Chain A
Amino acid sequence: MSKKRGKKTYVSLLAELERTLKALKRYWFLALLLVTVLSAGTAGLFYKSSADDAFLKLTYNYENAVYGLLPNGAKLDTYLVMSDEVMQNVLKRACITDMSPRELSSLLSVTPMNSHTFSPENTASYYISTSYMVILDEGKAQTKYRIPRRSMLNLIGNAYQDYFIQHYTDDGISIEIPPARETDREYEEEYEYLSMCAKELLSYLNSKSNYANSFVSESTGLSFPVIRQELNNLLNVSLPDCRAFILEQGVAFNRSRYIAKINYLLNDMNRNYEKGKNAFDIRGEVIQGYDGEMVSTVLIPTEDTKEKFYMSKTQTGVDYLALDRSTSAINTSRVKREIEKQENIRTHMQLVSENSSADTDKAGALLDRIRAELSRLLKATNQTNTDFNQQKAGEYVKISVSGNGLMEAIGGKKILAAGFVFVVVAILFVRKLSMWKEKHEKV
C-alpha cells in the first residue's frame, strides 16, 4: 500500500517537474524579467538601507590601545568623539550653522566592537576592544541638515582623528621666540633666553631623531637629524660667538641698571651660598663629633652593580650626615659657579663705560640672526613633525565608514541570497500562470 503511494508521489512529482519546465520554457523571458526586476529593486532597497545603517569604525593601532590606554599612558576615552571640540569642528567643516555641538553629539552613540561578555572570575575572558562603532541617528535631529550620512560620518571621523593627534600625540613643540628684540632686554639676557630655547628644541629633536630617524618631510625636505645638526651648529658656534662678542665688548643696553641687577643677583646668590656653606660646615663638625661607639656597624657580604662581591655595611647616622653634606657641597658649588659667572659678566660690563653704535649694532645683528635661525629651525621642526603625524595618523586612529564599497553598499551577499529566492518565486509564478492559462484554454 505504502509502496504504491510512494510510487504515486514520485510520478506526480515528475509530472509536476515536467509541467514546471514546460512553463519555464514557454515563459522564460517573463521569468528572467521578473528575476531581474526583483533583484534590481532589492539592490536599490539594500543600498538605501545600507546608507541608513552606515556607521563609523574607529580602530586604535598603537601599542597601549590593547590596555585601554592613550599613547601617553592615560586612560583612553573614546566617548570624546562626542566632545564639544570635535562636534564644533564637524559643524564647521560641514558648514552647518544652525545646529549646536551638543545637539549633534546627542545624535551619536559609541559602542566597542567585538566586545565579549566577560566572566568576572575568569581573567582569560577579560578583553579590551581596540575598535569602536560610532552610530549616527539622524532621526533624532531637531535641526535637519542635507549631508548624506556617510559624508557626515567621514567628517566626524576626520575631526576626531585630528583631535586625537592634537591632544594625545606629539603635536610639535611650543617655544615662544619673540619675533624681534625686546627693547628693555639686555643683550646678554637675550642671548640667555635664545640659548635656553635652543637647548629645549635640541632636547625635543633628540627624542624625535631617535623615534623617526629616517623620516624626510616632503614640504621641508628635512629630517629631524638634519635639523638637529643645524641646531647644534647654532648652539656650538653662533651662540658662543655672540656671547663672546657681547662680553668682550661689554655690550649693554642700560649698563648701570644691568650692573645693579647683577649686584642684586649676586647678593641673593651669596645669601644662598652662605646658607649652603653653613649647612656644609655644620654637618662637617657634627661628623667630626659623631660618637662611633654609640652605633655598631656590621659588614654584609653582597654584590655591587658589576655583580662583584662587595662588603657593605649597615647604615648609621653618620652615613646620612655624609650624604647630606655631600649634597650641600654640590649645591654650594653650583651656586658658587653661578656667582662667578655673574661676577665675570659684571667685570666685563664694568670694563667698558660706553659702547660704540657699531658694537651695539653688531651685537643686535648677531642676536637677530640667531633668533631668525632659531625661528626657522623651530618652524621646520614643527612642519616636519606635522608631516610625520599626517603620515602616521592612521597608525594611531584608523577611521572607516561601513558601506563604502559598491558591493558592500548594495549588500552583495544579501542580494545573492535574495536572488535565489527570486528565482524560486519566478518559477512558481510562471507555473501558476501556465496553469491558469491552461484552465482558461480548456474552458
Chain B
Amino acid sequence: MKKFDILRYIKKGKYWIVLASLVAGMLFYFIQSQKQTYVARTMIEYTYHEAAEGKNPRGEDLDVSEVKSTTVLQRTISQLNLSESIDSIRSALSYQGVLSSDESSVKSAMLAEGKEYTKQPTRYLVTYTVDSSKSSEYANSVLDAVVSNYITYFGEKYVSTHIIPNNAAAAVEEAYDYLEKADLMNSHIEAILDYMDGKGDSFLSFRCASIDCTFQVLYDQYEFIKDHDLPYVYVDILDSKISNDLELLLAAYRQRVENGHVEINYNSNAAAGIHETMDQFSKKNKESIGKAADSVGNSYSYILQNVYENERENVIVDRTTTYDRLIDEYTNYLISASNVEVDVNYYNYIINTFRSKSTQTSEEKKATKERITHSLQGISEKLDSLYQKLLLGVNEYNAERGSSKLRMRTNVSVIESMNIRRYAIIIVFVFGVLMSGVIIVIGRVSDFVEYTFWTDHVTGLPNRRRCDQYIDEMSKNMLQENFACIMLKLLNIREINSQFGREGGNQILSMIAETQKNVMPQEAALFYNGNETFICFVEQCNLDRATHLLNGITQQINAINDERKELNIQLKTAMTESTSEKVFNIRAILSSTFKKL
C-alpha cells in the first residue's frame, strides 16, 4: 500500500480544494450582502452655555428629537430629491446623548457619593441605518443633509427669529384707499427698519455672500424709499385729496380720533392711579423702614448678605423693587398718552385736509390717481425685491448663527454591521483547511481500496483485474498510432523458488517490477498479469522507442544478473507497435504480443 503522504493527497485534490473554498466564500459573501446594514454616524454638539442644563437658547427645555422633525426631514427629502417618505427616514434615525470619559467619571463619583448629577449631555450621537438595498454613500449623504438642515432649523427657531412678513404686496390691493395703501407701505418699511435696528450692529454689518452686500445696504435702501419715494405719494394724496371713498376714509379717521381720546384718558387715568399708589406705597414703606432702623440702630443691618451671589449661581431673577416697577409703569403710561395725543392731532390734520375743497379738476385728479397707482406699484416692486434679498440674507445669517450654537464634531462615518470581505476571506481559508482534510481522508480510503482490490501485493503493480479493466476501457476505441505493448515473462520462477524459497521468488518479481517502473515513462500503464507476466502499454511510443525501452529493461536485468550471478534471472520479452504492425485494437495487439512471447 502507498505511504501516507498528506502532500500527495492535497496535490491531487488541489483544484477541488481551491474551487470549494472559493465557492463557499462567494456564497457567504452573496448571502451576507443581502443581510448587510450600513449605519451612518455623526456627533453633534450644542455649544452654548445653557445646553449643559438641558435648555435651548431661549431657556426652554432642549428637545433633541427635533433632529427627526417633519420640517428637517422634508427639507432633506427635497434637497436630495429622495423618493423615501418622511416616516421611513424618521424610523431609521436615532440619537443618543454621550458623556465624555471625564464627564462619566465625574458622574460616577457624584452618584457614588449620593449626589445628584444634573448636568445634561451636550454631545449627541446621531445615527441613520439603511439596509443592503441602499449604499453606504446614500446613508452618508442622507445623515449629512439631515444634520445640516437641523442646524439651520435650530438657528431659525432658537437663535434667530423669523423675519417679519412681507406686507408691502398687500398694500397695492384694491380693497384699500390710497392713503391706507401708503400707510401700509410706510408701516411695513418702519417694521423692517425696526427689525434690523433691533438686531444690532453685528447684524447690520453681516456681509451676505448670497446677496453680495451687508444688511446695512438693505437698511439704507429701505430708508431711502421711506424718505424719498413714499413722501411723494403722500403729497399727491393729501394735496389732491385723492380717495376711493371719502366718506369711509373720513369716518375711519374720525373713529381713530375718538379711539385716541379714549386711549389718552385710559393712559392718563392709569398714570394718575399709579402715581397715587406710589405716594401711598412710599409713605407706608418709609414708616416701616424707619421703625426697623430705630430698633437696630441702622437700616443697613436689614440688607440680607450674599443674596446676590447665591442667586447668581442659578437663574437670574428680576429683583427690581416694587417702587421702581411702579415708576416704570407710570412713565410708560404717561408717554403712551402723550404719543396718542400727537397721533390724534395727525388724524385731525388728515380729516381737515380731506374736508377742505380740492382745487383740482376731475381730469387732473384722474391723472394724479394714475400717478399715485403707478408710484405705489413701483414702490411695491422695489420693496418686494428688497424683501427677497433680505430673506436670502437672513437665511444665511440664521445658518451662521445656528452653526455657532450647534455644530457637527465629526464627519459622517459609515460602519457596516458586518465586515463581509474579511469574513469571506476567513471562510475561504477555513473551507480550504476543511476540504484538505476531506481530500486526505478520501485519498487514503481510495489508497486502501486500490491496494486491496486492484494491486498485486507481491509486485506492488496494478493487478490482473485492473489490467482487464484497462483493456476493456481501451477496447472501446481504436488505438492511436505508435501505441506499444511490451511484455515480460520470468521464465525460471520455479528454479528461483526452489533455490531461494517463495519469499525469494517474490523479491525477484518485485525487483523486476521496480526495474520496469524506473525505465518506463511516467505515462506508461504497467500491470502484473499473474503467471510471472508483466504487461506494459505505452502511448506515443514508436517502434524505435519501444525497442529502446525494452533494451533498457533487459540491460538493467542483465546488470543485476552480472552483479548477483546466483540469481540468474531469465526473462522473455515481446513487443508490438500499432503503426508498424497495423494493429489498432488493444485485444489484437495484446494477442499479437502474447503470441510473440
Give the interface of A toward B (CB within 8 A). Answer: 67-69, 72-75, 77-79, 102, 105, 109-112, 115-118, 120-123, 126-129, 135, 166-175, 189, 192-193, 196, 199-200, 203, 207, 257, 260-261, 263-265, 267-268, 271, 274-275, 278-279, 282-283, 286, 290-291, 293-296, 298, 316-317, 320-321, 324, 443
Contact = CB atoms under 8 A, between A and B. Distances in A.
Q: Is the interface of B mostly helix, strand, loop or mixed?
A: helix
Given A110-B140, A192-B224, 5 more contacts: A75-B408, A170-B209, A174-B212, A257-B232, A275-B342
A378 B450 CA distance: 100
B104 interface: yes
B49 interface: no
Contact of B411 (A74, A120, A129, A261): A129
B453 interface: no
B431 to A, nearest CB: 26
A115 B136 CA distance: 14
Nearest to B207: A170
B220 interface: yes
A279 B335 contact: yes
Contact of B234 (A102, A174, A264): A264
B445 to A, nearest CB: 29
B160 interface: no
A236 B41 CA distance: 58
A286 B235 contact: no
Nearest to B415: A117
B100 A68 contact: no
A282 B335 contact: yes
Given A128-B409, A189-B228, A317-B324, A122 B214 contact: no
Contacts of B81: 102, 105
A295 B234 contact: no
A78 to B, nearest CB: 8
20 contacts: A72-B209, A102-B81, A115-B413, A118-B41, A120-B125, A121-B98, A126-B43, A168-B209, A170-B207, A173-B213, A200-B217, A207-B207, A260-B235, A261-B235, A271-B346, A286-B330, A294-B321, A316-B321, A317-B327, A320-B324
A222 to B, nearest CB: 19
B400 A74 contact: yes
Interface stretch (B26-34, B143-151, B252-260): B143-151
Interface in B392-410: 396, 399-400, 402-404, 407-410
Contacts of B334: 282, 286
Contacts of A116: 413
Contacts of A118: 41, 43, 410, 413
A207 B212 CA distance: 14
Q: Which 4 A-B pairs have the closest CB atoms?
A: A317-B324, A74-B399, A109-B137, A278-B338
B360 interface: no
Given A175-B213, A286-B327, A286-B330, A274 B342 contact: yes
Contacts of A260: 235, 239
Contacts of B411: 68, 112, 115, 127-129
Nearest to A270: B342
Given A77-B148, A120-B43, A264-B238, A109 B135 contact: yes
A293 B160 CA distance: 42
B407 A68 contact: yes
A56 B55 CA distance: 42
B46 to A, nearest CB: 14
Given A102-B81, A118-B43, A173-B213, A73 B235 contact: no
A373 B402 CA distance: 41
A117 B86 CA distance: 28
A67 B407 contact: yes
B412 A110 contact: no
Nearest to A283: B331
A203 B299 CA distance: 57
B285 interface: yes
Contact of B216 (A67, A121, A200, A263): A200
Contacts of B212: 170-174
Given A73-B404, A109-B135, A115-B411, A295 B339 contact: no
Nearest to A281: B338
Contact of A123 (B100, B216, B282, B345): B100
Given A169-B209, A192-B228, A295-B321, A321 B400 contact: no
Contact of A443 (B338, B339, B545): B545
B307 to A, nearest CB: 12
A207 B214 CA distance: 12
A378 to B, nearest CB: 12
B147 to A, nearest CB: 8
- Among A69, A78, A120, A317, the most chain B Cβ lie within 10 Å of the Cβ of A120
A207 B217 CA distance: 15
Contacts of B346: 271
B206 to A, nearest CB: 9
B141 A109 contact: yes
Nearest to B220: A196
Contacts of A296: 299-300, 303
A69 B541 CA distance: 83
Contact of B214 (A69, A117, A192, A203): A203
